[in-house]
Structure 1
Amino acid sequence: MGLLSLAIWTPIVFGVLLLTLGCEKQAGLVRWLALLGALLGLAVTVPIYTGFEIGSAAMQMVEKSVWIDRFNIHYHLAVDGISLWLVLLTAFITVVVVVAGWEVITERVNQYMGAFLILSGLMIGVFTAADAMLFYVFFEATLIPMYLIIGIWGGPNKIYAAFKFFLYTLLGSLLMLVALIYLYNVSGGSFDLAAWHKLPLGATPQTLLFFAFFAAFAVKVPMWPVHTWLPDVHVEAPTGGSAVLAAIMLKLGAYGFLRFSLPIAPDASHEWAGLMIGLSLVAVIYVGLVAMVQQDMKKLVAYSSVAHMGFVSLGFFLFNDLSVSGAIVQMIAHGFVSAAMFLGIGVLYDRMHSREIADYGGVINTMPKFAAFALLFTMANAGLPGTAGFVGEWMVILGAVQANFWVGVAAASALIFGASYSLWMFKRVYLGPVGNDHVKELTDINAREFLVMTVLAVMVLYMGIHPKPFTDVLTPSVTELLQHVAVSKLK
């Protein structure tokens, strides 16, 4: 068993172990076991980074063994510069979510913690799978723990939200399965992604494959107009569920574009780039405007996630080094910032049991430490220079200007909208006189909450001030991908 297998199966084994501990009296043991599993899961990803050869575009840490011999399906894992940081981000956010839910979750603690650990392993499996069927299994399996997290620990309309989440994402994935079977037949009975990248395909098959993959990945990102499930799910999901959904699960769709759509159907990707850019700009601008009128804090941040992920899909389909690298950096940065935003809202919700902006006001007077963290994360969400939220968006805007000046101008307008809805929410919730008696009774963050906020604040500032470690890892892989996409594969 190699490092990648350890990264996948360590949290899954701990998650399954937690499911066997059902007694409420064992809640303390469950929490510590969950933390141990999450920390070990993070620890085994560290040597993946330290052993990674920076400057190489090759797939590294390769593990391959026969899984289903009859159909030539392999348990085939590998990482490159594109997937490495996503693996580390997943393991990191899992630790944060376990700590964040420490005292908050009091019912079925073992199932809650177990679901998150299993989900963590499955998501790392998606980012490391080099066999298409293995990718599909992990990709679909992530739905199950998240469905349970929303459906069991969610809000009043949790069943509706869980069904909507499951049906939307499953429906898109069925078309992807058809595409995988087609490619399996065309390639002579192989599910190896590297072999599929070299297949010469006609214009029509490429277009059909492109839209089959689009159906699966656009829903997951989510791109406009198939984004409507996300705000409903975020509002109903527990705080940890929202954090993982925004920080990691949305990236599964974006990652799919890089592994399937662009390299397998490069000519179709170029042909339909205009459509993708248009949909991305609608997400960036229109959904940003929609975020401005939200009265629910979670809904506002959910719509802002759609707008930020619009930068990701925009960057991919501009086909230059700066924009694609910026889009991947934005994926990682959004992981830190969105997790921090949702966990911050969770801190307030745990005390007041309300997400309505109108129910707050003057929180800075009673929770000054927390308000300082909230200001930093709000600024990062708005894309303030010096924070993680700025780097990726700036790179995508620069790449957009290189490709088309007016696309760059339209993308840059999102920074104004981002500042508007983020700062307006901060003003109404935190500033001014104390809004009501409930706000007067609020207590500032405890040591556990302070630790969670501090860890996320450090990452947001570190990535904003010193993004070089992130870009150095991914640049060679991005360059190789773009060289591959630039070569026509038409028969």
Structure 2
Amino acid sequence: MLIIDSAFPVLTTMVLVPAVGALLLTLPVLRPWARTLGLAVAVVELGLGVWAATLFDYSSRASTQLAETHAWIPHFGISWALGLNALGLAMLLLAVALVPLVLLASWGEVPADRQALFTGLVLALEAFVVVIFAARDVFLFYVAFEAMLVPVYLLIGRFGGTDRRRAAMKFLLYSLAGGLIMLVGVVCLLLYADDSAGAYLFERLAQTIPLVPTHVGRLLFLSFFIAFAIKAPMVPVHTWLPDTAEQATPGTSILLIGVLDKIGTYGMIVLVLPLFPEASAWAAPVVLVLAVISILYGALAAIGQDNLYRLISYTSVSHFGFMVLGIFIGSQAAATGAMVYMVAHGLSIAGLYLTTGFLARRTGTVLISELGGMARVTPVLAGTWLVSGLASIALPGLSGFVPEWLVLTGTFSESVTLGVAAVLGVVIAALYVLLPYQRVFTGAPAPARVGSSDLDGREKAILVPVVLAMLILGLAPSFLTTTLDGVAEQVATTMVQAPAGDVAAATVTTEGTAK
């Protein structure tokens, strides 16, 4: 792996800016200015993200760039090591772009006297997200992976619905369980890594850990994969998500599902596959079956929901199934599709939760059975919700089409059976978007809804960049797909070049699973 150092610590700066902003908001004198200060910090962070993107050498697609490495706990070979590959950069840009929109949207959903706390927690969370997507040291990744639970728990438990504390606790218990399982793997890595400086660096471990005994590698694989499967979330460890999404504010759900849950699939790509190639090939048949189950179950469960927040969360379970399918199927096209899917899903989720939140603010409900005819009184809101929904079900010309097409074509090249099952999920997806739209937005509005107002100027300004991004990614995806091809090639190579004996055991025919 090629590591390109940075002349200026731009990534460390991106960690410090939101962290300092969060600390400043604890000062009583600044709390009345929380909205302005938080938005200013988020915009500066977005500017730093754009700057990092301009420093990135896109011709060196498979390299880690903007790297910084400093000794942190030398006795254990632990480093403060940051750097970005193409996928890390894409996810970092998605995160820093969504945070200002979330803060702007919160001006109507979070009381002014609690705005400082909400804004500070969002900025603290942003700092941890930067560390996670830029970390090159396994221990550093783990620390940020666990530390981010604190602001997320508080965002869920202190804001949102009447049952928010129970939802926050369920989220925390699932996440802590996954984190504790991963901790076992992190500690065991130390036993097999050398004791020199930088022993926990991804690139160092990728050379030493694949040489451990097969049974050890498989146990280590499971310790990381289970944690990432909970985060993703995959069936059957997904049940925390609908409860959390139902109770959290729309802004919190955008960050949680649109960004943080991608840490699960991101971790599979940058940690699980490079460190445990043999175990990844060994487990691939089971993982692929679970991915397809997630696609179908999430889609079917979404159709049966009356609460729009729960409906959107179940669609995400289905979408994450597509991502995991693309990662483990062993096709470069599918791997590229999975990574583009991570970005596209973040955009459509932002559109759906923002518009649903704006709808709830006007009507006081997100229950489909209590709504109807809203397109006549809120036509712009209805149209934006529909565009976001169509993007999520891969309408050609919108952000979801190209990644889903790549995942499906890559899957069919490896397994017809899995491809057919995934296509069935696509068909069901049309139902879980169009049926709710028909029930909520078409027909005659109820008398109580006639006076509802459409989107105001601020709300339109929040949604415009989201819709534009969905259109740009849908109509001109080549830059992103080309940029991610190098990482996708590494992913596909890992899945097909494990030790020959183990690959033979893990490979199945196109009648059921993947090579």
Short-chain TM bin: over 0.9
Which one of 21, 24, 34 corresponds to residue 28 of structure 2?
21
Deviations 1:399-442 (A, max 9, x none): 000001121111111111111011111111111111x2331121
**Equivalent position of 2:65 in the other structure:** 60
> 1:55·1:472 contact (CA, 8 Å) conserved in 2?
no
The alpha-carbon deviation at position 146 of structure 1 amounts to: 0.6
> 2:412·2:419 contact (CA, 8 Å) conserved in 1?
yes
Deviations 1:115-152 (A, max 9, x none): 01110111111000000110001111111101000000
Tell me, yes or no, if structure 1 residue 39 matches structure 2 residue 50: no
**Equivalent position of 1:260 in the other structure:** 271
Which one of 113, 116, 119 corresponds to residue 113 of structure 1?
119
> 1:320·1:399 contact (CA, 8 Å) conserved in 2?
yes
Partner Cα separation in structure 2 for residue 342 and residue 243 of structure 1:
7
Alignment of 1:433-452 (within 5 A): 433-434=444-445, 436-452=446-462
The alpha-carbon deviation at position 175 of structure 1 amounts to: 1.3
Partner Cα separation in structure 1 for residue 25 and residue 119 of structure 2:
7
Partner Cα separation in structure 1 for residue 16 and residue 425 of structure 2:
40
The alpha-carbon deviation at position 351 of structure 1 amounts to: 1.6
**Equivalent position of 1:206 in the other structure:** 217
The alpha-carbon deviation at position 469 of structure 1 amounts to: 1.6
The alpha-carbon deviation at position 460 of structure 1 amounts to: 0.7
> 1:55·1:476 contact (CA, 8 Å) conserved in 2?
no
Tell me, yes or no, if structure 1 residue 131 matches structure 2 residue 120: no
Which one of 69, 75, 78 corresponds to residue 80 of structure 2?
75
**Equivalent position of 2:513 in the other structure:** none
Partner Cα separation in structure 1 for residue 307 and residue 339 of structure 2:
29
The alpha-carbon deviation at position 482 of structure 1 amounts to: 3.3
Matched to 1:97, the amino acid is: V
Name whichever of 377-386 and 300-309 sits farther off. 377-386
> 2:281·2:498 contact (CA, 8 Å) conserved in 1?
no
> 1:54·1:472 contact (CA, 8 Å) conserved in 2?
no
- 5+ residue gaps, structure 2: 1-7, 503-515
**Equivalent position of 2:153 in the other structure:** 147
**Equivalent position of 1:456 in the other structure:** 466
> 1:369·1:444 contact (CA, 8 Å) conserved in 2?
yes
Partner Cα separation in structure 2 for residue 448 and residue 115 of structure 1:
23
Partner Cα separation in structure 1 for residue 23 and residue 425 of structure 2:
43
> 1:21·1:110 contact (CA, 8 Å) conserved in 2?
no
> 2:298·2:316 contact (CA, 8 Å) conserved in 1?
no
Partner Cα separation in structure 1 for residue 365 and residue 108 of structure 2:
18
Which one of 375, 381, 402 corresponds to residue 370 of structure 1?
381
Deviations 1:312-366 (A, max 9, x none): 1111110111011100100110000011101111001112221101111010111
Which one of 182, 185, 189 corresponds to residue 183 of structure 1?
189
> 1:206·1:268 contact (CA, 8 Å) conserved in 2?
yes
> 2:129·2:260 contact (CA, 8 Å) conserved in 1?
yes
Which one of 296, 306, 315 corresponds to residue 304 of structure 1?
315
Which one of 412, 417, 435 corresponds to residue 424 of structure 1?
435
| Structure 2 SS opposite 1:252 | helix
The alpha-carbon deviation at position 79 of structure 1 amounts to: 0.4
> 1:131·1:193 contact (CA, 8 Å) conserved in 2?
yes
Distance 1:19 1:466, change over 3 A: same
Large movers: runs of 4+ above 4 Å:
none
Q: TM-score, normalised by structure 1?
A: 0.97
Tell me, yes or no, if structure 1 residue 292 matches structure 2 residue 296: no
The alpha-carbon deviation at position 178 of structure 1 amounts to: 1.0
Tell me, yes or no, if structure 1 residue 236 matches structure 2 residue 247: yes
Tell me, yes or no, if structure 1 residue 220 matches structure 2 residue 220: no
Which one of 11, 15, 22 corresponds to residue 18 of structure 2?
11
The alpha-carbon deviation at position 104 of structure 1 amounts to: 2.5
**Equivalent position of 1:91 in the other structure:** 96
**Matched length:** 487
Deviations 1:242-301 (A, max 9, x none): 111111011011111112211111111111111011001011012211110100000000
> 2:330·2:492 contact (CA, 8 Å) conserved in 1?
yes
| Structure 2 SS opposite 1:222 | coil
Matched to 2:322, the amino acid is: F
Which one of 411, 417, 420 corresponds to residue 400 of structure 1?
411
Deviations 1:426-480 (A, max 9, x none): 111111111x233112101111100111111001111111111211211112213
Partner Cα separation in structure 2 for residue 303 and residue 480 of structure 1:
30
Partner Cα separation in structure 2 for residue 374 and residue 103 of structure 1:
18
Partner Cα separation in structure 2 for residue 22 and residue 59 of structure 1:
42
**Equivalent position of 1:51 in the other structure:** 55
Q: Percent identity?
A: 32
Tell me, yes or no, if structure 1 residue 384 matches structure 2 residue 405: no
Q: TM-score, normalised by structure 2?
A: 0.92
| Structure 2 SS opposite 1:62 | strand
> 2:245·2:309 contact (CA, 8 Å) conserved in 1?
yes
The alpha-carbon deviation at position 211 of structure 1 amounts to: 1.1
Tell me, yes or no, if structure 1 residue 277 matches structure 2 residue 288: yes
| Structure 1 SS opposite 2:261 | helix
Which one of 355, 359, 362 corresponds to residue 351 of structure 1?
362
Matched to 1:206, the amino acid is: G
Which one of 141, 155, 177 corresponds to residue 171 of structure 1?
177
Matched to 2:34, the amino acid is: V
Partner Cα separation in structure 2 for residue 198 and residue 7 of structure 1:
29
Partner Cα separation in structure 2 for residue 37 and residue 443 of structure 1:
31
Distance 1:16 1:135, change over 3 A: same
